[in-house]
Amino acid sequence: MKCELDQLTVHYDIYGSGQPLLFLSGWTASSAAMAHVYEPLFADADAWQRIYVDLPGHGHTPGSEAIRSLDDFLTILLGFVDKVIGGRPFALAGLSLGGYLARGVLLHRFGQVSGLLLVAPAIVTEDARRDVSKPTVVVCDPEAMMPLTAEEADVMALFTVQNAATVGEMRAFGTIMAAAGDAAFQERIRTDPAAYRFSFDVDALLPVFPRPTLIITGRQDFVVGYRDAWGILEQYPRATFVVFDRAGHMLEQKSAEMRPLITEWLARVTEYAIKKHHE
In tens digits, the chain (279 residues) has pLDDT values of 999 999 899 999 999 999 999 999 999 999 998 898 899 988 777 899 999 999 999 999 999 999 999 999 999 999 999 999 999 999 999 999 999 999 999 999 999 999 999 999 999 999 999 999 899 999 999 999 998 998 888 888 888 999 999 998 888 776 666 556 899 999 999 999 999 999 999 999 999 999 999 999 999 999 999 999 999 999 999 999 999 999 999 888 898 999 999 999 999 999 998 877 666
What integer pLDDT is reported at residue 7 of this predicted model? 85
Instruction: Determine contact, residues 260/82, Cβ cutoff 8 Å.
Output: no
**Rounded CA gap, 104 and 102, in Å?**
5
Q: What type of residue sits at position 233?
A: L
| CB distance 232 to 202 below 8 Å | no
DSSP 250-270: -GGGGHHHHHHHHHHHHHHHH
Alpha helix ranges (H) inside 70-224: 70-80, 97-108, 142-145, 150-156, 164-177, 183-190, 202-205
> How far apart (Å, rounded) are the C-alpha atoms in residues 9 and 12?
10
In sequence order, which residues have a C-beta less than 8 Å from that of residue 176 and are 6 or more positions away?
30, 32, 33, 36
Q: What is the pTM of this model?
A: 0.95
